[in-house]
Amino acid sequence: METSDKVIHAIYNDDDVLMAAVKTVKAKRFHIEEIYTPFPVHGLDKAMGLAPTRIAIAAFMYGCVGLTVATIMMNFIMIEDWPQNIGGKPSFSYLENMPAFVPIMFELTVFFAAHLMVITFYLRSRMWPFKKAENPDPRTTDDHFLMEIPVNHGNERELHDLLSKTGAVEINVVNNTH
């Protein structure tokens, strides 16, 4: 798709009205560039036609890394490097001590999955420290919803009329900053 020099910002003040508007705009085969919301709107990604996220696959892989690190770490520390007789438990093999190590394995699995998912999300979203905010309207962090649609080949009037019918409380044509 070619990039446009102008975009329309349609502002809504209700998430149900926004959801209906997205379905109407998609039915008319217009491309929605982005939607800014103050909170997650259930079903919005499906209504926009976005591909499903793969974060669950990444979480599983990160959890496996955490489990592996926990197993290797405990085997080295408690069995190979400095075996100790704690509470009469044998320290001859990892398998004999595994029931005592289960809480540590669980905690490191969750720790690695959670922290690496956050890092992955920030990198994938290109959100790093000191990055300038890309939010086109500060009201979308409070109580308004903004739908951004590129203007192509003189369809500005058609888009404006369509968005007015969908319940937009404000429609602005602005220069594209992407």
pLDDT of residue 2: 55
Strand partners, 172: 9
39 domain-assigned:
yes
Q: Which two tokens stand for residue 21?
A: 């508007």
Q: Angle between the 55-74 and 94-124 helix axes, to the nearest 10 degrees? A: 140
Q: Is residue 129 part of a domain?
A: no
pTM (predicted TM-score): 0.71
Answer yes or no: do 95 and 145 share one domain: no
Determine, yes or no, domain membership for 24: yes
Counting the structural domains of the chain, the total is 2
174 vs 10, 23, 169, 177, CA distance in Å? 11, 23, 16, 9
Strand arrangement of the beta sheet that strand 170-175 belongs to: 34-36, 145-150, 6-12, 170-175
Rounded CA separation 77/30 (Å): 60
Are residues 19 and 33 both part of a single domain? yes
On whether the CB atoms of residues 22 and 32 are closer than 8 A, the answer is yes
Asked if the model's pLDDT at residue 25 lies above 70, the reply is yes
pLDDT category at 3 given cuts 50, 70, 90 is low
Q: Are residues 107 and 145 in the same domain?
A: no
> What pLDDT shows up at residue 100?
84
Average pLDDT on 150-178 reads 86
pLDDT band with cut points at 50, 70 and 90 for residue 91? confident
- Residue 61 belongs to domain spanning: 55-124
20 within domain boundaries: yes
Please report, for the domain that includes residue 41, its CATH number. Answer: 3.30.70
pLDDT for residue 93: 82
pLDDT at 130: 85
Residue 10 counted as domain residue: yes
pLDDT band with cut points at 50, 70 and 90 for residue 132: confident
Same domain for 117 and 69, yes or no, is: yes
Task: Assign 147 to helix, strand or coil.
Answer: strand
What DSSP element (H or E) covers 43?
Answer: none
3-state secondary structure of 67: helix
Confidence of residue 18 (pLDDT cuts 50, 70, 90): very high
pLDDT digits (tens, 9 = 90+) for 48-85: 998 888 899 999 999 999 999 999 999 999 888 888 77
43/68 same-domain check: no
Residue partners of 121: CB distance under 8 A and separation at least 6:
55
Residue 13 lies in a domain: yes
Query: Are 115 and 65 in a shared domain?
Result: yes
